[in-house]
Amino acid sequence: MPQSKITNSRKVIWPGSTQLAPVPAVLVACGNSGGHKANLITIAWAGIVCSKPPMLSISVRPERFSYPILRECGEFSVNLPTAQMAATVDWCGVVSGRDHDKFAESGLTAVPGKQISAPIVAECPLSMECKVTQILELGAHHLFLAEILAVQVSEELLDASGRLNLERDNLLAYVHGHYYNLGECIGHFGFSVRKKPGPVKRTPRKR
Ligand SMILES: Cc1cc2nc3c(=O)[nH]c(=O)nc-3n(C[C@H](O)[C@H](O)[C@H](O)COP(=O)(O)O)c2cc1C
């Protein structure tokens, strides 16, 4: 096994808190059915939870304008923003659909979903169309478990063999209140056990 150059560090003990990082900061689009207009909410507490069926979760506070929309429509899209979209992502996470038409005011384009009524965000390189299967009322946040019914991905991110090169698109990451771009690729799945190890260089695209 390769030896990493990591040294032990002294630790202080805190009470349990939500310190997981980095996490994504995604644009969740909802509404566009059941009398609800389309809305956007920025979500950092999102994650893949199952590969077969493909599923993800988002955690949403009930006081959000988006909460009853998500609950009643039972559908939403998860849109991956690029680092260049950080200010727009932040804005969608500090103003409410109660007071703002976030699609109109941000300049983001709502494109119809293929499998859901909720729109996707055209400017995002990848969008997942999701159908809610379960809502877990955990506490401050309620967890929406959802099946990913379809994925819309920018054609320009596919290589000749159809492989997705999402790394090129300089995705946005979020760490304890701060936005980051992903930086350089330093390895790939399984590279620690390959005979000739070495990172596959992937360079972010300028957008
Ligand atoms: C980076 C970032 C991440 C956020 N993550 C979450 C989250 O995971 N869950 C949540 O309920 N609110 C989250 N928020 C807050 C909502 O996005 C914010 O309250 C938003 O204004 C709600 O919009 P709405 O009232 O139109 O639904 C986040 C905000 C930011 C800026």
Looking at residue 89, its pLDDT comes to: 98
Domain boundary assignment for the chain: 23-193
Q: Can you read off the two tokens belonging to residue 159?
A: 């290589």
Q: Is 149 in the pocket of ligand 1 (CB under 6 A)?
A: no
Least confident of 29-33, 89-93, 117-121, 159-163: 159-163
Q: Report the percent of the chain where pLDDT is more than 90.
A: 84
The sheet carrying 26-30 orders its strands as 39-43, 26-30, 75-80, 126-137, 142-153, 54-60, 46-51
Spell out the residues 6+ positions from residue 3 whose beta carbon is closer than 8 angstroms to its own: none
Span 8-37, average pLDDT: 96
Tell me the best of 37, 41, 85, 141 to mutate to test the pocket of ligand 1, counting ligand atoms within 8 Å of each CB and taking the most.
41
Distances (CA, A) of 110 to 17, 70, 85, 103: 35, 17, 15, 7
Cβ 86 under 6 angstroms from ligand 1: no
Closest residue by CA, ligand 1 atom 4 = 43
- For the Cβ of 42 lying below 6 angstroms from any atom of ligand 1, the answer is yes
pTM: 0.94
47 φ, ψ to 5°?
-165, 155
Atom of ligand 1 at shortest distance to CA of 94?
Answer: 21
- Give the closest residue (by CA) to ligand 1 atom 10: 60
Cis peptide bond prior to 24, omega within 30° of 0? no
Q: Is 73 in the pocket of ligand 1 (CB under 6 A)?
A: no
- Give residue 202's pLDDT: 65
Measure the CA–CA gap between 48 and 35, rounded to whole angstroms: 29
User: Is it the case that residue 205 has pLDDT exceeding 80?
Assistant: no
Place of tokens 């967890």: 143
The finding on whether 59 has its CB within 6 A of some atom of ligand 1 is yes
- Give 23-193's CATH code, choosing from 2.30.110.10, 1.20.1250.20, 1.10.150.450, 3.30.930.10: 2.30.110.10
- Name the token pair of 108: 């983001």
Q: Is 6 in the pocket of ligand 1 (CB under 6 A)?
A: no
Q: Give the integer Cα–Cα distance in Å for 164 and 63.
A: 37
pLDDT at 183: 85
Q: How far is the CA of 35 from the centre of ligand 1 (A)?
A: 22
**pLDDT (0 to 100) of residue 7:** 79
Ligand 1 within 6 A of CB of 40 = no
Alpha helices in 58-178 (DSSP H): 66-73, 86-92, 102-106
